[in-house]
């Protein structure tokens, strides 16, 4: 019949740009680095091998931290008390991601990396549901070619 005018009760800087895809890419990068570490061949050039391995470890470290940071920003800035009423396990999930991010730095286990990606995907699914955006499960078109939850845009 008629459109109600809106009054803004907004928070944060009014850009409203939050997206868990950066965390998903970071989790994929962690897995990719673990895969590279596990398949690296020592060969004749010992120095080159150690150089490669050091770089894989450094990138894994950086991406695991990035993954945690991206989730922490959405968790701390975007998620509000009403969301927690609807998704009461969200705090537990976010904390789990923080711990899995730490474990991904500590270990070189693919299983740990996959656990991190699974938790981040779960977080992404909730995030997009809050935003009222449908999601789909797609396979990343690049190594490590694992599944990610993606918005249907």
Partner 1 sequence: MIRIFKVSGHSLFPLLQDGQRVFCIKTFNFTKLKISDILVFEKEPHGLMIKELKSIDEKGYFVQGTDPFSIDSRDFGSISKKSIKYKVLFKF
Where do contacts with partner 1 occur on this chain (CB under 8 A)? 4-14, 77, 80-82
- Which residue, among 28, 31, 27, has the nearest Cα to 108 in the 3D structure? 31
CB of 28 to partner 1, least distance (A): 30
Nearer to partner 1 by Cβ, of 58 and 84: the residue is 84
CB of 19 to partner 1, least distance (A): 18
Provide φ and ψ at 118, rounded to 5°. -60, -40
Per the listing, tokens 């927690």 go with 84
CB of 83 to partner 1, least distance (A): 8
Nearer to partner 1 by Cβ, of 14 and 141: the residue is 14
CB of 151 to partner 1, least distance (A): 20
DSSP string, 14-30: TT----THHHHHHHHHH
Nearer to partner 1 by Cβ, of 43 and 82: the residue is 82
Question: Please, is 87 exposed, middle or buried when counting C-beta atoms within 10 Å of its C-beta (0-12, 13-18, 19+)?
Answer: middle
Nearer to partner 1 by Cβ, of 94 and 149: the residue is 94
DSSP string, 77-115: II--HHHHHH-TTHHHHHHHHHHHHHHHHH---HHHHHH
């Amino acid at each position: 019949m008629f459109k109600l005018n809106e009054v803004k009760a907004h928070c944060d800087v009014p850009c409203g740009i939050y997206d868990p895809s950066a965390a998903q890419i970071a989790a994929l990068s962690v897995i990719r680095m673990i895969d590279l570490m596990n398949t690296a061949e020592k060969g004749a050039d010992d120095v080159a091998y150690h150089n490669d391995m050091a770089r894989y470890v450094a990138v894994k470290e950086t991406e695991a931290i990035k993954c945690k940071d991206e989730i922490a920003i959405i968790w701390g800035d975007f998620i509000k008390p009403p969301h927690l009423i609807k998704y009461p396990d969200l705090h537990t999930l976010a904390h789990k991601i923080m711990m899995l991010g730490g474990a991904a730095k500590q270990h070189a286990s693919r299983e740990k990396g996959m656990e991190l990606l699974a938790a981040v995907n779960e977080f992404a699914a909730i995030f997009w549901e809050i935003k009222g955006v449908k999601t789909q499960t797609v396979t990343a078109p690049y190594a490590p070619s694992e599944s990610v939850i993606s918005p249907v845009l």
